[in-house]
């Protein structure tokens, strides 16, 4: 008799814990099912497509890409994946402004599954570095709000902006050529930044329609998904379907935002001027915004709306469980006491907001959950450092105790596949940029004494602008 009782209790307890564990997932799985939407899954079921692991996310500037990077870092950690990270001399970006090469990748982060730190895109080098089933993703933002953001964020770093009297965006746009020098350091923040990040020629005249068309077509060919910052959640839904990921894999908290007071609204007529000045970016944006909406309607407007709603609900639940009653504490960077959580600020009038943990954060939360919550709000510079440390430890554990002869076949393959100088870079003196490792990359780390043109052989001519060769003089 007592055995039966215990049995019933055990059954009841496991049912309750199962419901607590899976309840949320079941409810949205069922909701989606009722709409006839593609299956939403919470846990891998046998026979279902496995999650796709190998991803290049080209991180563009001022486009919500830090939020995406954080999401990818967390996915990588949960799935024991390797994230290719920059060597120390490159800072936390792949020596950005110089065109990407595999020399910029830290050897302890090879062979990679994911790469997402800032870089100037170079398809040929990435194809050599990454597994051959890698999916390419990037993100764009509407050019006029993006340019306003760049103008205020890089006001003190980019000479083209610094020259403008009164820091006036209107004055810059009235006569851009008076302030803009195409070959100057950091000039990529002042014109067609998206095109530049994608490896294109930011200074092609707007009249060269052939170039613009070919460039858009090439980006379309290489990237399976071009997300749009204005429709971030909708873009994430497409991402989730493309990569066969769960709803849990796309939860995020917005990172690297400015305070409201450092944003300004654009006067009438300004957006048109910005689009004309950044005509290549405008063309890219229009093309990929249209293509995003085609993909969304192919998935079904109702299904997308439902999934976005479920995503936001799941996000709220996560926030509540991490930070208690409501949201984490939004603070301007200067006020954040915890160094690990303080975002990098470009100085001047720009105020970037970050998050501070509630004082009673550790109460009633397991250390594992705390770690997740902390990572959710960790800015990119700190997270990159944390990942490099943990991956280096893992690398040493796996490879250092073996003799070179016995090293992992994948590692050997990488050694032979990569250029020789990657393997010896640690014995070389660090480039001058090393001291700027803390910066936004951008700012001070972008110039270097070596010639990037010498390292960019083998890339497609279409995505390679002439201007890059004059960057490092």
Ligand X SMILES: *[C@@H]1O[C@H](CO)[C@@H](O)[C@H](O)[C@H]1NC(C)=O
Question: Which residues would be at the binding site for ligand X (CB under 6 A)?
Answer: 79-80, 132, 142, 165-166, 168, 171, 230, 289-290, 293, 324-325, 358, 360, 363-364
Q: Cβ of residue 446: shortest distance to ligand X, in angstroms?
A: 28
31 or 230: CB nearest ligand X: 230
Q: Cβ of residue 132: shortest distance to ligand X, in angstroms?
A: 4
24 or 358: CB nearest ligand X: 358
Residue 461 φ/ψ, nearest 5 degrees: -70, -30
335 or 360: CB nearest ligand X: 360
Largest CA distance in the chain: 92
303 or 333: CB nearest ligand X: 303
Q: Cβ of residue 449: shortest distance to ligand X, in angstroms?
A: 36
Tokens for 87? Answer: 């060597």
364 or 404: CB nearest ligand X: 364
Q: Cβ of residue 437: shortest distance to ligand X, in angstroms?
A: 29
CB 312 within 8 A of CB 335: no
Q: Cβ of residue 251: shortest distance to ligand X, in angstroms?
A: 17
333 or 387: CB nearest ligand X: 387
- Nearest residue to ligand X on Cβ basis: 324
Q: Cβ of residue 325: shortest distance to ligand X, in angstroms?
A: 4
Q: Cβ of residue 279: shortest distance to ligand X, in angstroms?
A: 15
Cα–Cα distance, 173 to 170 (Å, whole number): 5
27 or 321: CB nearest ligand X: 321
Q: Cβ of residue 4: shortest distance to ligand X, in angstroms?
A: 36
Three-state SS annotation for the chain: CHHHHHHHHHHHHHHHHHHHHHHHHHHHHHHHHHHCCCCCCCCCCCCCCCCCCCEEEECCCCCCHHHHHHHHHHHHHHCCCCEECECHHHCCCCCCCCECCHHHECHHHCCCCEECCCCECCHHHHHHHCCCCCEEEEEECCHHHHHHHHHHHCCCCCHHHHCCHHHCHHHHHHCHHHHCCCCCCCHHHCCCHHHHHCCCCCCCCCCCHHHHHHHHHHHHHHCCEEEEHHHHHHHHHHHHHHHCCCHHHHCCCCCCEECHHHCCCCCCCHHHHHHHHCHHHHHHHHHHHHHHHHHHHHHCHHHHHHHHHHHHHHHHHHHHHHHCCCCCEEEEHHHCCCHHHCCCCCCCCCCEEEEECCCCCCCCCCHHHHHHHHHHCCCHHHHHHHHHHHHHHHHHHHHHCCCHHHCCHHHHHHHHHCCHHHHHHHHCCCCHHHHHCCCCCHHHHCCCCCCHHHHCCCCCCCCCCCHHHHCCC
Q: Cβ of residue 275: shortest distance to ligand X, in angstroms?
A: 11
292 or 311: CB nearest ligand X: 292
34 or 132: CB nearest ligand X: 132
Q: Cβ of residue 307: shortest distance to ligand X, in angstroms?
A: 18
- Among 56, 80, 110, CA closest to 425: 110
132 or 403: CB nearest ligand X: 132
């Amino acid at each position: 008799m007592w055995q039966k009782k215990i049995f019933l209790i055990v059954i009841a307890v496991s049912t309750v814990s199962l419901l607590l564990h899976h309840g949320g997932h079941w409810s949205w799985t069922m909701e989606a099912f009722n709409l006839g939407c593609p299956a939403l899954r919470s846990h891998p079921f046998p026979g279902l497509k496995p999650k796709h692991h190998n991803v290049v996310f080209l991180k563009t500037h001022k486009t919500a890409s830090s939020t995406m990077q954080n999401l990818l870092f967390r996915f990588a950690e949960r799935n024991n994946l390797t994230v290719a990270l920059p060597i120390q001399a490159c800072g936390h970006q792949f020596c950005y402004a110089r065109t990407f090469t595999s020399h910029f990748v830290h050897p302890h982060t090879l062979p990679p599954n994911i790469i997402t730190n800032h870089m100037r895109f170079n398809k040929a080098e990435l194809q050599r570095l990454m597994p051959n089933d890698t999916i390419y993703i990037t993100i764009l933002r509407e050019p006029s709000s993006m340019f306003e953001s760049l103008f205020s964020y890089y006001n003190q770093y980019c000479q083209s902006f610094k020259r403008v009297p009164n820091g006036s965006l209107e004055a810059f746009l009235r006569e851009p050529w008076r302030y803009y020098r195409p070959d100057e350091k950091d000039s990529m923040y002042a014109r067609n930044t998206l095109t530049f990040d994608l490896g294109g020629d930011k200074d092609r005249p707007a009249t060269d329609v052939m170039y613009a068309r070919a460039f858009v077509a090439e980006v379309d060919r290489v990237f399976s998904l071009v997300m749009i910052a204005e429709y971030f959640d909708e873009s994430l839904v497409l991402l989730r379907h493309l990569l066969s990921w769960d709803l849990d894999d796309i939860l995020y908290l917005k990172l690297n935002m400015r305070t409201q007071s450092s944003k300004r609204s654009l006067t009438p007529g300004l957006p048109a001027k910005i689009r004309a000045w950044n005509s290549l970016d405008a063309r890219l944006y229009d093309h990929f915004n249209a293509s995003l909406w085609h993909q969304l309607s192919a998935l079904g407007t109702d299904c997308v709306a439902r999934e976005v709603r479920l995503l936001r609900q799941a996000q709220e639940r996560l926030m509540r469980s991490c930070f208690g009653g409501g949201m984490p504490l939004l603070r301007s960077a200067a006020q954040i006491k915890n160094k690990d959580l303080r975002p990098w600020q470009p100085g001047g009038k720009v105020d970037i907001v970050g998050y501070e943990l509630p004082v009673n954060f550790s109460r009633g939360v397991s250390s594992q959950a705390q770690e997740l919550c902390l990572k959710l709000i960790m800015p990119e510079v700190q997270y990159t450092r944390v990942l490099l440390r943990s991956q280096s430890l893992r690398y040493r554990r796996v490879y250092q105790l073996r003799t070179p002869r016995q090293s992992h076949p994948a590692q050997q393959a990488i050694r032979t596949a990569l250029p020789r100088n990657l393997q010896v870079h640690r014995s070389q003196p660090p480039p001058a940029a090393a001291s700027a490792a803390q910066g936004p990359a951008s700012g001070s780390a972008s110039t270097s004494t070596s010639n990037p043109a010498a390292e960019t052989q083998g890339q497609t001519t279409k995505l390679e602008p002439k201007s890059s060769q004059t960057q490092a003089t």
